[in-house]
Amino acid sequence: MTLWYLMRGLGFSALVVLTAATALGALSTHGTATAQGLDRRMVRQLLHRSTALVGLVLLVLHLACVVLDAYVPVSLGGALLPFTAGYRAVAMALGTLALYAVALTSVSGAARGALARFPHTDRAWRAVHSSAYVGWGLAMLHGVLGGSDTRQAWAIAVYAVCAVAVAATLTQRLAVRPRRVLDPRGHRRLTAITSTPGVRR
């Protein structure tokens, strides 16, 4: 039963870490430098990338435990191909799709620096990188539908806190308006985030 408990622990850990990564990603587009020269936006982005990487690793380890655990009849193919698992096929499929969405988000994040050199890539990049929200939502559904602890009070509390954290930070992100200007090369870049025209944050 060791793998069973480890699998459950890794699943909840991955959800919590990915929630932190998603929330930090929603907040990382705005911020100001402190009097000591600390750029809060850069700090948030660094934490966002770090937690996203840790979350992806935890997801892979969770998947490995699912495949290796004899209590859950899920083969490697069933874990990687949606809706083919022999155990709670829908819930497992949601977890697989969540893994793919998080992986896509991580790859797009790693490629951001290279894409920044090309004009007119910002909108397409943001559309792809926004799959992080899809991945997080799928991970939540996977846990709720497939987790054996879903009805436990502590598990409900974890899901509730994760949902509130992402909802609150996403609402804050949508409440402010990005302000863009042209840099010397003619590329658009984010210079400030304002809630009303002309007000810098």
User: What mean pLDDT, rounded, does the chain reach?
Assistant: 82
Range of the domain at 90: 2-194
Is residue 201 a part of any domain in this protein? no
Question: 149: domain CATH number?
Answer: 1.20.120
- Does residue 53 lie in a domain region? yes
Residue 199 maps to a domain: no
Q: Percentage of residues in the chain with pLDDT exceeding 70?
A: 80
How many domains does one find in the chain? 1
What is the per-residue pLDDT for 29?
64
| 183 within some domain | yes
Q: What is the pTM of this model?
A: 0.79
Is it the case that residue 187 has pLDDT exceeding 70?
Answer: no
Q: Is residue 200 part of a domain?
A: no
Mean pLDDT of 35-51: 76
The CA distance from 99 to 19, in Å, is: 14
What pLDDT was estimated at residue 7? 93
User: Which pLDDT belongs to residue 137?
Assistant: 96
Q: Is residue 23 part of a domain?
A: yes
**Would you state the pLDDT for residue 181?**
44
- CA within 13 Å, CB half, 40: 11
Query: Helix 131-146 to helix 153-175 angle, to the nearest 10 degrees?
Result: 160
pLDDT band with cut points at 50, 70 and 90 for residue 43: confident
Alpha helices in the chain (DSSP H): 2-27, 40-68, 76-80, 89-110, 112-115, 122-129, 131-146, 153-175
CA quadruple 158, 45, 59, 142: dihedral positive or negative?
A: positive
Q: CA–CA separation, 177 vs 105, rounded Å?
A: 23
